[in-house]
């Protein structure tokens, strides 16, 4: 995992957390371990990842609905070799980029948990609603 993992304090822009610049997201995605997400659980972490989709970007919790484990085989690699679908490295489930719906594998019909992100005028990817 990369990104905020090494940072102690989240960088905020208004009420949203700055994850990285859009140019830092590779074609196969970028993973983060978010800390200090829950006020009542300061030590809890939330693994998430970003997936580029044309001019858009999507964010999902990094947890396969099949067995609840992280998806990537190696850091910042969340897509299949065709770069068309998100792929779980454990049993090969495939998910659509735009909504996280599983189209192939042991959890067909289930979905990744989508999280709100936006890109601001400076190209920063901001996490939060
Ligand atoms: S854990 Fe993801 S497909 Fe089995």
Tell which residue, 62, 59, 69, 66, has the closest CA to residue 19: 59
- Mutation test residue for ligand 1: of 63, 66, 85, the one with most atoms within 8 Å of CB: 66
- Structure confidence at residue 3 (pLDDT): 47
Q: Is 50 exposed, middle or buried (0-12, 13-18, 19+ CB in 10 A)?
A: buried
Q: What is the pTM of this model?
A: 0.92
Interval 66-91: pLDDT, tens: 999 999 989 999 999 999 999 999 99
Q: Could you count the other beta carbons within 10 Å of the beta carbon of residue 76?
A: 19
- Structure confidence at residue 37 (pLDDT): 83
The CATH architecture to which 3-127 belongs is 3-layer Sandwich (2.102)
Please report the atom of ligand 1 found closest to the CA of residue 68.
1
Interval 92-102: pLDDT, tens: 999 999 999 99
Q: Is 42 exposed, middle or buried (0-12, 13-18, 19+ CB in 10 A)?
A: exposed
Interval 8-64: pLDDT, tens: 688 999 999 999 999 999 999 999 999 988 889 888 999 999 999 999 999 999 999
Domain boundaries, given as residue ranges, for the chain: 3-127
Please report the atom of ligand 1 found closest to the CA of residue 107.
3
62: tokens are: 């990094």
Cβ atoms of 34 and 64 closer than 8 Å = no
Give the residues surrounding ligand 1 with Cβ less than 6 Å away: 64, 66-67, 69, 88, 90-91, 93, 105-106
Span from the CA of 96 to the centroid of ligand 1 (angstroms): 15
pLDDT band at 113 (very low <50, low <70, confident <90, very high): very high
pLDDT tops 50 at residue 2: no
In sequence order, the 6+-apart residues with CB closer than 8 A to the CB of 105 are: 66, 88, 91, 92, 93, 94
Please report the atom of ligand 1 found closest to the CA of residue 69.
1
């Amino acid at each position: 995992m990369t990104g905020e993992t090494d940072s102690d304090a989240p960088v905020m822009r208004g009420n949203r957390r700055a994850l990285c610049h859009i140019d830092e997201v590779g074609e196969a995605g970028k993973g983060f371990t978010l800390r200090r997400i829950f006020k009542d659980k300061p030590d809890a972490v939330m693994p998430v990842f970003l997936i580029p989709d044309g001019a858009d970007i999507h964010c999902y919790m990094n947890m396969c609905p099949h067995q609840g484990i992280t998806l990537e085989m190696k850091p910042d690699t969340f897509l299949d070799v065709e770069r068309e679908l998100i792929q779980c490295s454990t049993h090969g489930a495939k998910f659509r980029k735009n909504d996280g719906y599983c189209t192939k594998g042991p959890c067909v019909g289930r979905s990744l948990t989508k999280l709100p992100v936006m890109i601001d005028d400076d190209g920063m990817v901001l996490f939060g609603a």
